[in-house]
Structure 1
Amino acid sequence: MATVTPGFWTGKRVLLTGHTGFKGSWAALWLSQMGAEVTGLALPPDQTPSLFEMAAVERGVDSRFGDIRDPAAIDRALAGKTFDLVLHMAAQAIVRTAIEDPVAAFDTNVMGTARLLQALRGRPDLKAVLTITSDKVYANDDGGRAFAEGDRLGGKDPYSASKAAAEIVVQSFARSYFPQVAVATARGGNVIGGGDFSRDRLVVDIVRAARAGEAVTLRHPEATRPWQHVLDCLAGYFAHLEALATRPDTPRALNFGPRPGGAEVTVGELATLGVEALGGRPWRHESDANSLEARALAIDATLARTALGFESRLDAAEAVRLTMDWYARQAAGADARALCLEQIEGYQARA
């Protein structure tokens, strides 16, 4: 199966938005390790600790702080720069935060995307732009069916709806203003990995509870999600960008998730794997009758396999093992940057 081609990225001028976040920090480290010239555009880290600071991500990136909701900030960040590729990951990415402040979520995820694309219009040398949305862009009836790229978009909560709306924004800009540039979206599954310290993330809750000697609380242990390790997800994004830049027939929207046909893993099953890995207390269930989160969510990543020759390489158990190993070793004093680079190198060697 196809994988990331490090030689493709050597010397490539890449704009990476959201480089201060969890997934963005891993992306910046990996791109820099492959020899890309990375310019980062994002708000400063909004949490302590943050992987961006722990792993000294800024060391290998031209880091420019700015708010994608502000056109002037985007213009300042892009001034004097020329890009071959753009990976747009900046977003309001927490479901419950979006429920608490829906206007900010729509402003960031929809209008922020529109403002960035507007700033990229007419730029010389630009070959491809990939905007990251979510597996939650589909109109989900909780039936458990795996959604494919041609299924109807929707979203019953502000986060999901804002990401579905961003898909439409990208499609409209692509058709109207980028006739010579491949502009596309990628819909990633639920990502886990070392260095995530965001609120309302299952793995983070497990780690914090284990370190405090407490039992993690689960709202929906029966819920299913398309879990994948951050390196699998990023490898898919990179493979998609490579293809967009070199092959005109590359699909303009792709799902990236667990291997097609793989076993579904519930929230409770993943929590059990995590607790066992860290030696924590068994999780407990505390229902939330007001939750808008879908109970069943699955995406069909077959098109990524047939169009790109790409599929995830780590199953849920392996993804949890790698994730918990990162947290355990970091807590024992290992350097966060070294841990990330070691796992990136191990993933590349495996591929």
Structure 2
Amino acid sequence: MGNQSTLESVGMKLFAEQYRDCRVLITGHTGFKGSWLALWLTKLGANVFGYSLPPESTPNHWELLSMDISQYFHDIRDAETMAKTVAEVRPEIVFHLAAQPLVRRSYREPLETWSTNVMGTANLLEACRHSPNLRAIVVVTTDKCYENQEWAWGYRENDRLGGHDPYSASKAAAELVVNSYRKAFFHHAEAPLLASARAGNVIGGGDWSEDRLIPDLVRSLTERKTLLIRSPSATRPWQHVLESLSGYLLLGQKLLQGKTEMTGAWNFGPETEGNRTVADVLEGLQANWPKMTWQTNDQPQPHEANLLYLDNAKAKTLLGWKPVWNFDKTLEATGQWYRHYYQNGQLSSEAQLAYYITTARIAGVEWAFS
């Protein structure tokens, strides 16, 4: 899938070079998406700073990457420390990914979920409000922030927000915080431009989180156990982690360029063919892992949505963003990453990033030619 030299040759003139020498703060940089984002931004020539709790899992993608960036290990619920850090870093753009991101954990720890996802977001935006060098903020929420009606069509950015479980509801509330700060504090000409990003069910190599399909599958294979599946018929908008990150980076580029019309909420979801059931994902991965087995868990489970789609028309039409990898390629890349790690003890993250960029150029995606 390529190599490091390939990444350096194709990865340095993307996104109109807005990130070269740019001071970028990532909250949640030790997480699954945050670690991939830090890798990509570093390759784009950015000066990256991280703010997060230490990684929870062993192994974890962040520590395996062994990246040399300035990082701060604090809780985003600590408003005073957040303010001091933002003042010290003096970022030009902030990507806010830090969150309690798990549905089932939100049932066990609802107060932690609400305080992290809502007040954590408010703490960050309040700190940003007093940062004179800041030009742009991208707050990452989730596709689950919509009030789920079990519709057979995709949710659009202007559909009603809401949530049944504490995770979904807290992310909907975080969107309200973002909208409030945009209108109340970031409306004048010198204010940073603020947008939110809602991605689908993101998968890819390097995720070892609890209660997620792919990490659970990987653990079952390494421990030689049968995977228990909660909802094999549940449909989600599956996409590779690099798809969502290309959307965040493109959105950030437009904000850094001062395009005020790019503020607001944005969906970054797969094409319709990426809306598949859990069973479809497992069957697709089995082509890469013939040894995997699973069975349905018949025990009562906390409520989770059955149907969930995203409408990505706004991002495609107004941002010029579009998905690069289809469903099959997403599963192939994910399976290959984990196989390479467990068989060889090596990361293929840089090689996969280079390959993704090359594929984007072949597909004629705008950000890959900037």
Which TM-score tier does this pair reach, normalised by the shorter chain? Answer: over 0.9
Q: 1:244 aligns with which of 255, 258, 264?
A: 255
Per the normalisation by structure 2, the TM-score is 0.90
Q: CA deviation at 1:46?
A: 1.4
Contact kept in structure 2, 1:9 and 1:35, CA below 8 Å = yes
Superposed CA offset, 1:168-223 (max 9, x none): 00110111111222111100100001010000110111112222333211110000
Q: CA deviation at 1:294?
A: 0.4
Separation in 1, partners of 2:85, 2:192: 21
Contact kept in structure 2, 1:213 and 1:280, CA below 8 Å = no
Contact kept in structure 2, 1:40 and 1:63, CA below 8 Å = yes
Give matches, 1:160-199, under 5 Å.
Answer: 160-179=168-187, 180-199=191-210
Give matches, 1:94-133, under 5 Å.
Answer: 94-133=102-141
Aligned length: 344
Give matches, 1:1-351, under 5 Å.
Answer: 4-5=14-15, 7-57=17-67, 59=68, 61-179=69-187, 180-246=191-257, 247-259=259-271, 261-262=272-273, 264-336=275-347, 339-351=348-360
Q: CA deviation at 1:162?
A: 0.1
Amino acid corresponding to residue 356 of structure 2 in structure 1: Y
Secondary structure of the residue aligned to 1:9 is coil
Separation in 2, partners of 1:228, 1:145: 17
Separation in 2, partners of 1:344, 1:33: 10
Q: CA deviation at 1:4?
A: 4.9
Secondary structure of the residue aligned to 1:80 is helix
Separation in 2, partners of 1:156, 1:279: 36
Please identify, of 210-219 and 129-138, the stretch whose mean Cα deviation from structure 2 is larger.
210-219
Runs of at least 5 residues in structure 2 that lack an aligned partner in the other structure: 1-12, 361-370
Separation in 2, partners of 1:349, 1:226: 24
State the 4+ residue runs in structure 1 displaced beyond 4 angstroms. none
Amino acid corresponding to residue 98 of structure 1 in structure 2: S
Identity of aligned residues (%): 40
Contact kept in structure 2, 1:13 and 1:38, CA below 8 Å = yes
Secondary structure of the residue aligned to 2:174 is helix
Amino acid corresponding to residue 133 of structure 1 in structure 2: T
Contact kept in structure 1, 2:230 and 2:301, CA below 8 Å = no
Separation in 2, partners of 1:8, 1:231: 18
Separation in 2, partners of 1:68, 1:32: 23
The change in CA–CA distance for 1:183 and 1:251 in structure 2 (over 3 A counts) is closer
Secondary structure of the residue aligned to 1:113 is helix
Secondary structure of the residue aligned to 1:253 is strand
Runs of at least 5 residues in structure 1 that lack an aligned partner in the other structure: none
Q: CA deviation at 1:243?
A: 1.2
Q: CA deviation at 1:9?
A: 1.1
